[in-house]
Structure 1
Amino acid sequence: MNDITRPVLPPVPIAPPPDDPLFVDAIARGFQVLSAFHGASGPLSLGEIAARSGLGKSAVQRIVHTLRHQGYLRRDPRDRGYLPGLRLLDHALDYQRLDPQIARVLPVLMELRRETGERVDFSLRDDLRLVYALRFQSKRGFYSASLIGTSVPLYCTAGGLAVLSRLPRPEAEALLARSSLVPYSQRTLTDPQAIMARVDQARTDGFAIAQEEIVAGEIALGVPVLDEGGQPIGAIHVAGSLSEWDAGSFARSFAPLAMTAAGGLGGG
């Protein structure tokens, strides 16, 4: 199972609050510089960071110098620009270590991996996308499917469709209207009505299925994870190979297990 070329899926930019005396512009600009690396395919020069962040080159030069001094950026060993620094991983660790939802999901996901023998993931919703927070590989594991922080859109993924199915229909339609419905593969649905039909089916079934809509040869099942108020905050995914499974047998084998796992975590 191999990756196909994926469109870049950066987070939706957050506009600064108007007339907020507590908002620190300098810190926001620092994160704009760090965010310039989202979707980058290699080191970035100062000019590339400026273009991607929307900041002036002189400001970028000062911010990059500061972040490099603090260990959050580093020079490329071949001197071709800048790369994220090691100390950013400290913050990723803090998020996982201190987030109570991840602490609750971890043993559940480990048990689901044991029961299914397939790849299992837990993702959290960030507006129009899901961000993978926990991942357990199967025997067919591949590089990008092991990376924490990888993000995928709601509209063409099993977990995303499952999340949309637990929102009021008008809210789900509004999210689709704000989404860039680009094809990730020849099998990616981009018609809003067709997508909503799948959302409605997931609402009935309690889970969603996606086949090769992002990764060639992959079938995935997603079940929403709810908070105490019954709002979808993310999803549990089970992913397998279409060389071993069809949609019907995959759903029969794993939907009950994934739904039981997700149901024990949130609002039911």
Structure 2
Amino acid sequence: MSARPDTLFIQSLAKGMKVLECFAEHPAPLSLNEIAEYCEMDRSAAQRMTYTLVTLGYLERGVSGRGFMPGKKILERTFDYLRSVPLLERATPLIVDVQRESGERVELSLFDDLTIIFALRRQTKRQTYTTTLIGRRLATVHTASGRAIMSHLPADEVDSILARSQSKPLTTRTITDADRIRALVAQAAADGYAVASEESMLGEINLASAVLDHEGRPIAAIDISGSLADWDAEAFAKRFAPMLMGATKALSGKAGLS
């Protein structure tokens, strides 16, 4: 017996969103044929979608009118989201203070099941452009922030995240073995913070602690990132873990955070 169609799901709207999402994997102006190929739709449908999105401002034409790229209107929706989440307003001055005191990159990421997504980032001068942008997603299982969050979840939820994760390692040092990740999550639960070394970027160490809501559920994490040219893992954790856990404790346990 075939599954009943979802009568509330609007296919045409989903196709339009898919056009916007194809730029996640292809960050450059795309031709109409490329959009049709990446979104698995015929050229006529792609033409209608791109025309509508350009008219609304969510797509723009590339240099000299060649190809399509995300439009400035998308930034307005980012603004709408950022100002609607109380956690981000409360966290911003804390993130600024921690970055100023530590001298290292400090970020807040939101928990979104299999991924974390960066919502606040305070960088140092040595970071590359893409590592300073909000909106970047990384795998929960492969990050210090994700493992700090997982350390506050029941074992069955940790197992579910591990079973459903299919992300590719970001570096040659990224840990992918499920048993090793469980051990790191258990260590984070014992320590109150998680450490990842060169798993997101070679030469970088990350230290993270989870932010909990008023029911004790993890909803976010704050992390501090440093260079292995300046620190070893033990010294980095000893220096910054108290500062980090103080910041997450100050944010945790409040109603209406998310």
| TM > 0.5 fold call | yes
> 1:222 matched to which residue of 2?
208
Residue type of the alignment partner of 1:232 = P
> 2:131 matched to which residue of 1?
145
Q: Give the TM-score normalised by the residue count of structure 1.
A: 0.88
Q: How does 1:156-167 map to 2 (within 5 A)?
A: 156-167=142-153
1:41 aligns with 2:27: yes
1:102 counterpart (70, 88, 106):
88
Contact 2:139 2:167 in 1 (8 A): no
Q: Return the alpha-carbon distance in structure 1 between the equivalents of residues 241 and 13 of structure 2.
A: 44
Q: How does 1:31-70 map to 2 (within 5 A)?
A: 31-70=17-56
Q: Return the alpha-carbon distance in structure 2 between the equivalents of residues 246 and 18 of structure 1.
A: 56
> Share of identical aligned residues, percent?
44
* SS of 1:235 mapped into structure 2: strand
Q: How does 1:113-128 map to 2 (within 5 A)?
A: 113-128=99-114
Q: Give, in angstroms, the shift of residue 170 of structure 1.
A: 1.7
Q: Give, in angstroms, the shift of residue 50 of structure 1.
A: 2.3
Q: Return the alpha-carbon distance in structure 2 between the equivalents of residues 18 and 237 of structure 1.
A: 44
* SS of 2:25 mapped into structure 1: coil
* SS of 2:142 mapped into structure 1: coil
Misfit runs of 4+, over 4 Å: 17-22
Q: Give, in angstroms, the shift of residue 82 of structure 1.
A: 0.8
* SS of 1:41 mapped into structure 2: coil
Contact 2:206 2:223 in 1 (8 A): yes
Q: Return the alpha-carbon distance in structure 2 between the equivalents of residues 23 and 41 of structure 1.
A: 28
Question: How big is the alpha-carbon RMSD for the aligned residues of Structure 1 and Structure 2?
Answer: 1.8
Q: Give, in angstroms, the shift of residue 266 of structure 1.
A: 1.9
Q: Return the alpha-carbon distance in structure 2 between the equivalents of residues 214 and 220 of structure 1.
A: 9
Contact 1:181 1:190 in 2 (8 A): no
Unaligned runs of 5+ in 2: none
1:136 counterpart (122, 129, 136):
122
Residue type of the alignment partner of 1:127 = D
Q: How does 1:1-268 map to 2 (within 5 A)?
A: 19-267=5-253
Q: Give the TM-score normalised by the residue count of structure 2.
A: 0.92
Q: Give, in angstroms, the shift of residue 200 of structure 1.
A: 0.9
Larger relative helix fraction: 2
Structure 2 vs 1, CA of residues 81 and 105 (structure 1 numbering), >3 Å: closer, same or farther? Answer: same
Contact 1:159 1:223 in 2 (8 A): yes
Residue type of the alignment partner of 1:166 = H
Q: Return the alpha-carbon distance in structure 2 between the equivalents of residues 56 and 167 of structure 1.
A: 43
Q: Deviations over 1:39-66 (max 9, x none)?
A: 2131122222223223333222101101
Contact 2:105 2:122 in 1 (8 A): yes
Q: How many residues align?
A: 252
